[in-house]
Amino acid sequence: MLDFYGIKLLDENKGKVGHAENWRERFENLNRNTQHNLGLTRILKCLGILGFEHYQAPLVHFFHTETLVVNRGLPRVKRSVLDYFMCSVLNTSERKQLIRFTFKMFEPKYEFVWCLKRIQMRF
């Protein structure tokens, strides 16, 4: 399934992922067909339910990096990454790390509304 999204598994134990050879073509497809965002959310949730939690955060982090840091042409995936992908991560400490990373990279900061203002101020 990762190959369909232009992603490959780099480290099976840690769940680290990176670009597959076909990533440009697949990213264009992801950006053009937003129904894949729902599929990715379901995959992330299933990973947690089926006991593969260690794959969730690295995959979400990959999409965070692609949409917030390097902006590789996935503007129509960004909202799903922030609103749904991150919420799918079951491990609380990994989810908190993702929130911190997101807040750090998100611009403009005043538009970051993923959490309550009092929680946001801690970051």
Q: List beta partners, residue 18.
A: 8
Q: Which two tokens stand for residue 59?
A: 């995959």
- What pLDDT shows up at residue 119? 63
Residue 115 reports pLDDT greater than 70: no
Q: What is the pTM of this model?
A: 0.87
pLDDT band per the 50, 70, 90 thresholds, residue 89 = very high
For residue 6, give the DSSP letter: T
- What pLDDT shows up at residue 25? 94
> Other CB atoms closer than 10 Å to residue 117's CB: what's the count?
7
> For the segment 31-63, what is each residue's pLDDT rounded down to a tens digit?
999 899 999 999 999 999 999 999 999 999 999
Residue 29 reports pLDDT greater than 60: yes
Residues 56 and 41: beta-carbon distance below 8 Å: no
Residue 82 reports pLDDT greater than 90: no
Averaged pLDDT, 3-21 = 96
- What pLDDT shows up at residue 120? 59
Phi, psi values for residue 7, rounded to 5°: -125, 150
Residue 117 reports pLDDT greater than 70: no
Residue 102 reports pLDDT greater than 80: yes
> Other CB atoms closer than 10 Å to residue 62's CB: what's the count?
21
